[in-house]
Structure 1
Amino acid sequence: MKVRNAFFFVIFVMTLLSLVACQNQDSNQANYNNDMANSEASLYDASNDAMDASYDEAAESSTEGLTASTASPSSSEAFPDETTMASMSQMIIYRTEWSIEVPDAEATQATLQQEAEARGGYVVEATLAQIDDDYKQGYMVIRIPQSEFTQFLTELESASTRVVSSSTNGLDVSEEYVDLESHLVAQRAVEERLLAFMEDADSTEGLLAISRDLTEVQNEIERVRGRMSYLDNQIAYSTVTVDMTEDGISNVALQNTNELNTFARAESLFIATINRIMDAGSSAFVLAVGLSPIFLPLLLIAVAIFIWYRRRPKQPTASTGEN
């Protein structure tokens, strides 16, 4: 009996010790997990702090660079020189739209294309349409170097018989261009800082965060460069839009009768006579319809009187009564 009790007591003590050991192991594992989480959080915070510091330092360095480049140590350098002002004045986008009449639309398009290519320009769009077998209409979009813009407009005017309308406007993009340049300098400074921190990154989380921000900065750099390239092209080449219509032969015949040959003058007179007859007939018809409320009752009364007069009995003459 005593042996059995001793045996159960030993088993109870061993079981209790096992439970205590398991509890201590679970507690140690939990503490280890907490320590690992805290360590990772501290590493991530350190990475973010380093990135924030890189942003601040890059922005400060870019601002100092811009300030140093724009600061003027003396009053003689307080104003931009003539070269800077000339470059600023060239940051203008010119566009013009013309509507002209030409003797031959197809030949005029070929002439304008040759003139544009000779001046270093190019044709963006050119269309030609036949209108009712009478005349042609053309449309062109031409890009001309800004230095040749005025001379090309002179050639365009000389190639037309009449300028129906023309409008020219300029868009000053100097301020936008300077802002883009400053923004590009700042973004490149941030890019350099991020590349430097990427080389020194000692954790995966920090490396991923820096890589993500570096991608955003590089995308912004490409966007700014694309906008600047577009503005450079628009500034360097002015846009000329031309609507052209051929002169009508009948209009020329009616307006310049003395300069035509005999057959053309006869054709012009025939057309003019037909037009006058049609105008006279149209005027008579309009007059008859317009005055019908007055003339129609009078006409009916006149017809009734005429019929009554024809049908009334004839009175016997005086000689017939005496007989």
Structure 2
Amino acid sequence: MKNTVYIFLVSLCLFSACGAKQTSMEAADTMDVSDESLRKAETSLTQNQLAATPHEDLYSNGKVKLIKTVNYRFEVENVKKASENIEAAIKKYPAYIASSNLRLENPILENKLSIRVQSEYFYELLKEIDKQPRFVNFRDVSTNDVSKEFVDLESRLKTKREVEERYMDILRKKAGTIEELLHAEQQIGELHEEIEATISRMNYLKEQVSYSTINLEFYQTVSEEISAADTIGMKDNFLDALKTGWQGLLTVILGITYIWPILLIAGLTIIYLKFIRKKQPVPYKEI
């Protein structure tokens, strides 16, 4: 009986030891998974923060942010000279030509330019261009205040970074289950995409504010080509008349060729009628 009790106690101790060891191994595995998730998340966060951190001068600083644009169409005496003068004026300022399109649609020769100039020199360059027109079709200057949008984007960016930091605290402190840690890592990735989109929009607005746009359309009427087209010499008239007459003759011959059976029948009919009349006796008239 004592041997039986002794064997039972030994078996119970061995069973408890095995259970404790298995629990310890599971906990170790859980800790390894948690540590691995934490390392991945921290690495991802470090890279995201480096990529998504904007420049200090990106923010509005309480200043008014205006996007300036002008659409300008006018007539010039000479498109080539006007283009050279405008290009020379552009070189005086921090500006560049974004696009250029020269075309001739007789009798109009037109050049279209899109110019980007630093906002501080917008009106100075515009004054230089004002010297070129001989006639102005339109000159529309517009400004778009994006200060409110800047402030709104900054507020969103700040909020998203705060939420991202809270999720990082969860990963650092390992506060939660594996599912919660993985969810926090997923949320950090989504927040990073939203932060990148916000910063991209802010960079675009900053570029639009820093550089204003001048859209030009200037043209000239090529009068020489119009007069040459309207005054044709006698020689040209004579040659055109010969060509037209020859074409008319060929058209008549071609038409006759199409209706030759009808002409043949008509000719035979006329000959037959003349022959019949000759054979008929002449009636005798009494005097």
TM-score w.r.t. length of structure 2: 0.54
Matches for 1:161-310 after TM superposition, within 5 Å:
161-201=134-174, 203-249=177-223
Q: Deviations over 1:267-290 (max 9, x none)?
A: 8xx98xxxxxxxxxxxxxxxxxxx
Opposite residue 173 of structure 1, the aligned amino acid is V
Bigger helix fraction: 1
**Contact 2:109-2:222 at 8 Å conserved across structures:** no
Residue 128 of structure 1 deviates from its aligned partner by 0.3
Q: Which runs of 4+ in 1 moved over 6 A?
A: none
Gaps of 5+ in 2: 1-25, 31-59, 232-287
Q: Give the match's secondary structure for 2:133.
A: coil
**Contact 1:157-1:163 at 8 Å conserved across structures:** no
1:152 aligns with: 125
Distance in 1 between the 2:93 and 2:153 partners? 30
2:78 aligns with: 104
Q: Deviations over 1:36-89 (max 9, x none)?
A: 9xxx9xxxxxxxxxxxxxxxxxxxxxxxxxxxxxxxxxxxxxxxxxx966x22x
TM-score w.r.t. length of structure 1: 0.48
Distance in 2 between the 1:198 and 1:111 partners? 63
Residue 205 of structure 1 deviates from its aligned partner by 1.6
Structure 2 counterpart of 1:124, from 92, 98, 104: 98
Distance in 2 between the 1:110 and 1:203 partners? 71
**Structure 2 residue 115 is matched with structure 1 residue 142:** yes
Residue 187 of structure 1 deviates from its aligned partner by 1.1
Opposite residue 146 of structure 1, the aligned amino acid is S
**Contact 2:69-2:143 at 8 Å conserved across structures:** yes
Q: Deviations over 1:211-266 (max 9, x none)?
A: 1111111111111111111111111111111111114437xxxxxxxxxxxxxxxx
Distance in 2 between the 1:219 and 1:186 partners? 14
Greater relative CO, 1 or 2 (CA 8 Å, sep 6+)? 2
Q: Give the match's secondary structure for 1:158.
A: coil
Percent of residue pairs bearing the same amino acid type:
24
The CA RMSD measured in Å over matched residues stands at: 3.0
- In the alignment of these two chains, the number of paired residues is 172
Matches for 1:61-76 after TM superposition, within 5 Å:
none
Distance in 2 between the 1:206 and 1:107 partners? 70
2:278 aligns with: none
2:268 aligns with: none
Residue 135 of structure 1 deviates from its aligned partner by 4.3
Distance in 2 between the 1:223 and 1:198 partners? 24
1:285 aligns with: none
Distance in 1 between the 2:191 and 2:61 partners? 30
